[in-house]
Structure 1
Amino acid sequence: MSSHQTAKTEGVGATNARGALLKQERALQTRQTVLAAAAEMFAEHGYPAVTVMHVAERAEMTKGAVYFHFANKEALAQAVVEEFYRRLPVIVAPALGKKGLDPLRAVAEVMNRTALAFRDDVVIQAGARLQIERSYIGAELPPPYTAFQAMIEELLTRAEVEGALQCRVSPEGYARVLVSAFFGAQHISWVQCDRNDIEDRVREIVEAVLPDRA
């Protein structure tokens, strides 16, 4: 093969590779658009009331485009819940990464950051609602909030080792109380006032339950 032919063949290969990459990127963007639309619909209307057609209309796509990425409504719900749990560690990472922040203050900041996400992030809102409606979803979902509770327990264990946590229950029990209070508060805030007061409610939990962090 001549050098000219070789260069031409390599050029075709490069063009094909770029085309495949662009196609991949478009498919990923389409999937994210569908996922965002599903989250909005689940957050607003709840799992039982939402259909694949509703999601397609919100995403401004055909049902076929939705089905290309998700086999059914259950798969959409699973994907939203998975994204919910993927986002939680990202939301609290800045609090955990702060240098010089003692464990109890880290717990307070984790709770506050999560509260703001529940107020502002529709995927977080949808994930929380789908956890409540999990009995309607014919697909397996992760056990609720186990990783989040483990993270709080780890911080409280550090606080206990440092002598900052003096309580009649273990760090594990303390974490269960805090997590239950938090997710109960966000639910009541959602029902009563669309989570507009969630930051205040969570601050009250932190001030009432955590020892003085001054």
Structure 2
Amino acid sequence: MARQQERARRTRAALVESAAIEFAKRGYAAASVNTILEGSNATKGAMYFHFQSKEELARAVLQSGVEQFTALTDRWTSRTDIGPFEALHGFVIDLAKLFHSSVIVRAEFRLIVEPEFYPDVQSGGSQVWGRTAHEFAIRAQRDGLLRADADPEKFTRVLAASLAGQRYMSDMTALEGDLGERFAESLEVILAAMASPEWLEKFARDGWPDSGSELPDS
């Protein structure tokens, strides 16, 4: 029984991984179930044992992507040894690395903006990292690191939109390797407008510290 359960788990994982590759490449509507089956070495019967439809398979990819985003955000929000802006910088760098290394994350990002999944936007990966940015902004405000007139909600909206835009531009211009630099650029532009003068003076003098990236370079 245990061997059968392990085989079923591996088959399901292979289907999700193969589906992510196909969805990331072609999107949802053009994705081929036959190609997914070929990539996973699973039979159609095995697929329909785990997933009743292509949509259900896509939702499994979405959920897996959210789980990867959540694991990353949990690691950075638990950091208490560095300041909130330094932690946020480390987080966005690792977020860029995750986009580069995980096809499931790339597939989630593509699927979530397709018409079939518009209702899932509020529970998608962008909401996970948006909440993380907001948590760091609130911490910064509490610590006096934001300008007195800065709004953490605005900080979050602008940063999240900028990171999403940088991600799309990376796809369009095929400069995936520069994504970490682009994410850092977005953060620095927003901080220049909203961080306290004292923090900006310190940043101009010292730059970003080595905050201990959680993910290896690809």
TM-score band by shorter chain is: 0.7 to 0.9
Whichever residue aligns with residue 55 of structure 2, its letter is E
Matched, 1:67 2:48: yes
So what's the TM-score if we normalise by structure 2? 0.82
Aligned to 2:185: 204
What's the CA shift string for 1:65-88, capped at 9, x where partnerless? 111111111001111011111110
How many residues in Structure 1 have an aligned counterpart in Structure 2?
Answer: 193
Q: Give the whole-Å Cα distance in 2 for the aligned partners of 1:197 and 1:42.
A: 23
* Partners of 1:182 and 1:202 within 8 A in 2: yes
1:197 is displaced (CA, Å) by 1.7
Matched, 1:132 2:113: yes
Aligned to 2:207: none
1:196 is displaced (CA, Å) by 2.4
* Partners of 1:78 and 1:141 within 8 A in 2: no
Q: Give the whole-Å Cα distance in 1 for the aligned partners of 2:153 and 2:119.
A: 26
Aligned to 2:89: 108
Structure (1 or 2) with the larger CA radius of gyration: 1
What's the CA shift string for 1:177-199, capped at 9, x where partnerless? 11110011011111111522211
Q: Give the whole-Å Cα distance in 2 for the aligned partners of 1:194 and 1:80.
A: 24
Aligned to 1:9: none
* Partners of 1:80 and 1:127 within 8 A in 2: yes
Aligned to 1:192: 173
Given the superposition, is the C-alpha separation of residues 59 and 194 from structure 1 closer, same or farther in structure 2, using an over 3 Å criterion? farther
Matched, 1:80 2:23: no
Matched, 1:96 2:67: no
Matched, 1:50 2:31: yes
1:93 is displaced (CA, Å) by 3.4
Aligned to 1:141: 120
What's the CA shift string for 1:149-200, capped at 9, x where partnerless? 1221111111101100116441112111111100110111111115222112
**Identity of paired residues, percent?**
28
Structure 1 unaligned residues grouped into runs of 5+: 1-19
Whichever residue aligns with residue 128 of structure 1, its letter is F
Matched, 1:33 2:14: yes
SS of residue paired to 1:164: coil
Q: Give the whole-Å Cα distance in 1 for the aligned partners of 2:86 and 2:7.
A: 42
Q: Give the whole-Å Cα distance in 2 for the aligned partners of 1:27 and 1:187.
A: 35
Aligned to 2:208: none
Q: Give the whole-Å Cα distance in 2 for the aligned partners of 1:187 and 1:199.
A: 13
Instruction: Say what the alpha-carbon RMSD is for the aligned residues.
Output: 1.8
Aligned to 2:156: 175
Whichever residue aligns with residue 130 of structure 1, its letter is L
Q: Which segment drifts farther, 59-68 or 94-103?
A: 94-103
Structure with the greater relative contact order (CA < 8 A, sep ≥ 6): 1 or 2? 2
Q: Give the whole-Å Cα distance in 2 for the aligned partners of 1:56 and 1:176.
A: 39
Aligned to 2:2: 21
SS of residue paired to 1:196: helix
Structure 2 unaligned residues grouped into runs of 5+: 204-218
Q: Give the whole-Å Cα distance in 2 for the aligned partners of 1:158 and 1:191.
A: 34
